[in-house]
Structure formats: structure tokens, C-alpha cells
A and B are shown apart, each in its own frame.
Chain A
Amino acid sequence: MSVMAQSLIPETQRSSDALTMDRPKLERELERLHAECWGWALACSGHDRTLAEDALHTAYLRVLSGQARFDGRSRFKSWLFGVIRLTAMEELRRANRWNTTGSELDLSSAVDSSAGADVISEQAERNAVLVAAMASLSPRQREVLQLVFYHGMTLEEAARVMGVSVGSARTHYDRGKKALAGQINEVDVR
């Protein structure tokens, strides 16, 4: 949606030589970043696959239809992640699940109580622990850690995606990292 694109970068700050991308080029870029976009959509949707697919699909639709326009003021990936993030938030709000994505994921259930716990590979178990630990963080902390550690972004890029200042992103990063360490150590000790 154009409103969304405008919220990412104010109209008054747009450069006149905005990067124009035709549809084939947009599609190539989307395809190149698709795997990362999927991971980001999952993270923004509380690792709900259905919501993540809906969010990603809607975000692609907005990009391909021109409702969200890239104007070249940031990296395409950062801009695209911003679109996906806002779209996922809308999808979550629509699904009325914004408040439940974190609280309903329980660390103990992620590790112990699943029916096939004994057959889950060690790596899958570690992933489940990480996902559950991330879900226990605040949305901002979750987002900044995901962007930095999962997607390899700098704090500046993460701040741009999240629409916050670098200082605020750094605060969320530090607090989130401590909280995540506490959550993971707690599970590892069990």
C-alpha cells in the first residue's frame, strides 16, 4: 500500500532520482531474496507458517503492483523487509493474534511435551528452543535480534527496517540478547 511505503520513507525526504524498477527486475530481486524474506516473514508472524505465507504473498503483491515503491534511499533488502514487517503486522492484527504469538509459545512445550520428542533431531530441538526463546522476548527485541543474527544486518540497517533510531535499536539489542541468553541457558540447564 502506498501509505505503507510513505510511512517507511517520508514524502518530503524522497530523492528526485528515485530508483525505478520495472516488474522483471523486481521479480528477479524478490526471487533472489525469497529465502531470506521467508525467514523474516516467519519471524514477524510468530513462526506461524500460514500467517507468514499470507504476509509474504501480500507483501509481494504490494511490491509487484506498485502499491509499495522502492525509491532507492536504502538497500532494497532493508526496504523490502520493512514492507514485509508492516504487512505481517497487519496480517497479525487482522488475525487478532498479535498478543498471543509470544505468550502462547511455551519453552517447555517446545522441548519436552511434543508427542514425537524422542524422534526430533537434536538440531530441530535446538531450533525449537531458539524459536520459543525468541517468542518470549518483546517484539522489538525479537525483531532486532532476528535482523542482526539471522539476516546479518547491521544495527543501522535493522533500525531502518524497524523504523526506530539506532540508539533505540541498540537498547533493544542489548536487552534482548541478555534476555535470550537467560532463556536459552535456562532450557539448557534442564
Chain B
Amino acid sequence: MNDFESELKKRFAELRADDETSAPSFAVVRDRATVDQSIGTRRQRPWMIPLLTAAAAVVAAVWVTSQARGERARREAWLRDSSMNAFRWTMPTDGLLESARQTLHTPAISASVLDAAAVPIPGTPFKGD
């Protein structure tokens, strides 16, 4: 070993002594590592991320579907109950036409129109009787 190596060893020994005096205690570093270990353990579940994402997607899809169904049901109920429903609207006099069709019959050929009007309704008195 030459002189320079001896000098180097001496200098490194001084540096080492200086470093050791300024070193953080083992307990501090270990305890910090222990705390991070518990956090790290929770973090070390890579399968949790896709699982949670899939679960969130399913929940979101169910919610959106239920919302859409509810909206459609509300809309149909509103159309059904609304007086503005054009498809179900009937004239107020439709009732009169309904009863007239029950009493009026198509007249026979060469018969008078009045004959059809004079057909007696069963169960009702007829003036001609």
C-alpha cells in the first residue's frame, strides 16, 4: 500500500466519522419506513383499480338505465293523462253519433228514408202500433 492509499484511508475515515455524527437515527428511518409500509400495503393492490372501475361503471350504467326508464314512464303517464293527447282526443258530440248509429239503419232500395227512421226499437212503444 502506497502513501496515497494510506492518505486516502485516513481521509475517508475522517469523512466517515463526520457522516456518522450527522446520521439520522435508525429509529427515525425505520419508523418512517414502517408507516409507509402500511400505506404501501394498501397501495399494493393493482387488481383493485380495474375492479373498482368496473364496479363503478356497472353502478353508473344501472343508474342511467333506471333514470331513462323512469323518465320514459313519466312521459308516457303524462301523455296518457293529458287532455292535450291528440291521438286520444274525441269530439264532445261523438256520444250522439254513437247512439244514432244504434237506431238508424240503412234503408232498403226503393224504400223511404223515413222508413229507416221508423224502425221500432225493441222494448219501446211505437206510435204506429
Contacts and interface: CB of A to CB of B under 8 A. Distances in A.
B20 to A, nearest CB: 5
A60 to B, nearest CB: 4
Given A38-B20, A57-B36, A64-B33, A30 B11 contact: no
B37 interface: yes
A170 interface: no
Interface stretch (A72-80, A90-98, A126-134): A126-134
A53 B26 CA distance: 11
Contacts of A57: 29, 32-33, 36
Given A65-B40, A177-B4, A131 B29 contact: no
A39 B29 contact: no
B48 interface: no
Contacts of B26: 30-31, 34
Contact of B15 (A60, A61, A130): A130
Interface in B9-36: 9, 11-12, 14-16, 18-20, 22-24, 26, 29-30, 32-34, 36
Interface in A138-180: 145-146, 149-150, 177, 180
B24 A38 contact: yes
Could you tell me the dominant secondary structure of chain A's interface residues?
helix
B36 A149 contact: no
A135 interface: no
Given A123-B14, A126-B11, A42 B40 contact: no
Interface string A109-133: 0000000000000011011001100
A53 B8 CA distance: 26
Contacts of B110: none
Contacts of B11: 126-127, 130, 184
A150 B29 contact: no
23 contacts: A30-B26, A34-B23, A35-B23, A38-B20, A38-B23, A39-B23, A49-B22, A53-B24, A57-B32, A57-B33, A58-B33, A60-B29, A60-B33, A61-B36, A61-B40, A64-B30, A64-B37, A65-B37, A130-B12, A130-B15, A149-B12, A150-B12, A177-B8
Given A39-B15, A53-B24, A149-B9, 8 more contacts: A34-B26, A38-B19, A58-B33, A61-B33, A65-B41, A130-B11, A150-B16, A184-B11
Interface of A: 27, 30-31, 34-35, 38-39, 42, 49, 53, 56-58, 60-61, 64-65, 123-124, 126-127, 130-131, 145-146, 149-150, 177, 180-181, 184
Interface of B: 4-5, 8-9, 11-12, 14-16, 18-20, 22-24, 26, 29-30, 32-34, 36-37, 40-41
